[in-house]
């Protein structure tokens, strides 16, 4: 063995030995992600049945509304927000493939051809041709797990983007249901307002007849006319809200408002489904937003490992093989061959604290994600409790308002009869009208509130989504 080759061989052995020693002596760059300390209660305060299963993925069918099912299907098919979330998933998939490629060698092929001509004042001249082809390879040894940690970060970011897409699906479907219930409630309130306006017109005719006969004064006529005008005035903002909610619903399903064909169903015809809240711990598997935060926490932990590995030496292997000739024929038959192989080690010595600052930055981001996850879990528990309380309260109010509305209808009928007979004055009749009008409107609103509370509970429980495995 020649002296130069022996020195090169010894140098490679020393370089490899240094790498192994550094690998054994360096602290581990990867550590387990910190577990957020969140104490979950065993039951919900507002749930009488702490066990049970969440609603199905197509939870909206439980309301028994064909229109609602069609609207949500259209939204999940064409809504731009869901399309944006899907494209972000594709971007994360591409980024994961980019990170995965860093674990493999890089191969490159190159070819070049050149011709050199020289002419002077003398007759003699010179010319030369050169053809070169080469194949090169380079590979960075992932001793400290920097590249594999970057891949882990990209994979968890991909998982987070998929969970974010599911969060958009849940938010979108519940948003469509909310707008639809509001629209049905407004339709019901408009219908009741028109019916009450008819009642006020009927009473106005009675008052006018009695005034014409001299049984009552013109004051009674003016009072009842004020009631009639008030009902007409109350109808206008309701009709405006119908148009506004209709436009918002059309935007969610990505269709022009003129093409939105709804209004064949009524608010009383919508079923209020029973939803089992389950146990609080199941939220970690039911809610895609919590699953996304878990994936982001794991990605942050992987980014911390990448930052730590950047403090350690990087080791690269390179190799190349090529052929050269002055002509294409010689390049094929008798080329001049050349081979090379090498290794390099790069250890940062001074960077003004940049790499250490990156480690501190990644550490702080990981702690921030831990706090954010704890906050999100507690907020999810509050969401469920609020929805349970609102659902229970709305059910009780609807029962009482139904009874009140029935009594108000009966009182108005009796008051109208007694006024015709002259047993009571107009003030009693006016009070009976006002009570019935308010009871009708409040009943329509509380029915919507009960539907909305059920919808909020479904959304707080994850909207029918469930994770494939434990968190």
The reply to whether 306 and 336 lie within a common domain is no
| Contact predicate 461/54, CB 8 Å | yes
Rounded distance between C-alpha atoms, residue 162 and residue 89, angstroms: 6
Lowest model confidence (mean pLDDT) among 107-121, 150-164, 387-401: 107-121
Return the H-helix or E-strand segment holding 125: strand 125-141
Residue 291 located in a structural domain: yes
The reply to whether 212 and 279 lie within a common domain is yes
- Total domains in the chain come to 2
pTM: 0.82
Mean pLDDT over 455-465 rounds to 91
The reply to whether 93 and 109 lie within a common domain is no
Rounded distance between C-alpha atoms, residue 40 and residue 149, angstroms: 31
Rounded distance between C-alpha atoms, residue 129 and residue 326, angstroms: 5
pLDDT, position 26:
42
Nearest of 138, 227, 254 to residue 432 by alpha carbon: 227
Rounded distance between C-alpha atoms, residue 5 and residue 17, angstroms: 18
pLDDT, position 118:
64
Lowest model confidence (mean pLDDT) among 218-222, 332-336, 458-462: 332-336
Q: Please provide the DSSP assignment of 260-277 as one string.
A: -----S-GGGS-------
The reply to whether 437 and 327 lie within a common domain is no
pLDDT, position 293:
93
pLDDT, position 25:
40
pLDDT, position 282:
84
The reply to whether 235 and 135 lie within a common domain is no
pLDDT, position 216:
83
Rounded distance between C-alpha atoms, residue 152 and residue 299, angstroms: 7
Mean pLDDT over 187-210 rounds to 90
The reply to whether 274 and 422 lie within a common domain is yes
Number of separate helices (H) and strands (E) present in the chain? 10, 4
Residue 15 located in a structural domain: no
Residue 22 located in a structural domain: no
pLDDT, position 90:
95
pLDDT exceeds cutoff 50 at 53:
no
Identify the band that residue 87 occupies on the pLDDT scale cut at 50, 70 and 90. Answer: very high
pLDDT in tens, 283-305: 888 899 999 999 999 999 998 98
3-state SS assignment for residue 321: strand
Identify the residue whose tokens are 């979108």: 172
Lowest model confidence (mean pLDDT) among 36-45, 183-192, 237-246: 36-45
Q: Collect all residues with Cβ–Cβ distance below 8 Å to 41 and sequence separation of at least 6.
A: 280, 381
Range of the domain at 328: 105-141+313-346
The reply to whether 305 and 322 lie within a common domain is no
Give the end of a domain, one of 324, 346, 368: 346
């Amino acid at each position: 063995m020649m002296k130069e080759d022996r020195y090169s061989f010894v140098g490679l052995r020393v370089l490899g030995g240094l790498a192994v020693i550094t690998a054994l002596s360096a602290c581990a760059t990867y550590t387990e992600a910190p577990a957020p300390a969140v104490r979950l209660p065993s039951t919900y305060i507002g749930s009488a049945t702490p066990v049970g299963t969440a609603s199905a993925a197509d939870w909206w069918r439980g309301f028994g509304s064909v229109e609602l099912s069609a609207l949500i299907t259209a939204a999940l098919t064409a809504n731009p927000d869901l399309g944006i979330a899907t494209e972000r998933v594709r971007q994360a998939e591409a980024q994961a493939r980019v990170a995965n490629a860093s674990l493999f060698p890089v191969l490159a092929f190159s070819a070049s051809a050149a011709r050199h001509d020289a002419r002077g004042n003398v007759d003699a001249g010179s010319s030369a041709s050169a053809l070169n082809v080469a194949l090169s390879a380079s590979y960075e040894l992932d001793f400290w797990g920097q590249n594999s940690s970057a891949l882990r970060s990209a994979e968890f970011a991909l998982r987070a983007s998929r969970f974010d897409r599911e969060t958009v699906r849940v938010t979108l479907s519940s948003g469509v249901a909310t707008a639809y219930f509001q629209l049905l409630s407004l339709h019901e309130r408009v219908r009741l307002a028109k019916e009450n306006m008819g009642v006020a017109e009927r009473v106005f005719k009675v008052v006018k007849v009695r005034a014409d006969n001299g049984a009552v004064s013109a004051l009674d006529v003016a009072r009842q006319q004020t009631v009639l005008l008030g009902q007409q005035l109350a109808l206008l903002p309701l009709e405006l809200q119908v148009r506004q909610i209709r436009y918002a619903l059309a935007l969610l399903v990505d269709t022009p408002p003129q093409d939105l064909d709804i209004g064949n169903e009524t608010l009383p015809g919508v079923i209020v489904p029973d939803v089992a809240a389950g146990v609080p711990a199941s939220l970690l598997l039911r809610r895609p937003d919590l699953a996304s935060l878990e994936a982001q926490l794991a990605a942050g932990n992987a980014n911390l490992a990448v930052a730590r590995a950047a403090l350690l030496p990087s080791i690269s292997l390179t190799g190349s093989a090529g052929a050269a000739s002055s002509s294409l024929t010689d390049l094929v038959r008798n080329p001049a061959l050349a081979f090379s192989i090498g290794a390099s080690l790069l250890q940062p010595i001074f960077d003004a604290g940049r790499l250490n600052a990156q480690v501190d930055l990644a550490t702080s981001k990981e702690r921030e994600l831990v706090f954010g996850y704890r906050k999100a879990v507690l907020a999810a528990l509050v969401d469920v409790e609020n929805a349970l309380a609102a659902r229970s309260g709305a059910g009780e109010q609807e029962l009482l308002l139904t009874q009140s509305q029935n009594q108000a209808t009966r009182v108005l009928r009796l008051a109208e009869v007694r006024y015709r007979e002259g047993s009571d004055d107009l003030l009693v009749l006016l009070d009976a009208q006002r009570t019935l009008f308010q009871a009708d409107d409040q009943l329509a609103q509380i029915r919507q509130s009960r539907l909305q509370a059920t919808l909020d509970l479904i959304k707080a429980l994850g909207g029918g989504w469930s994770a494939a495995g434990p968190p």
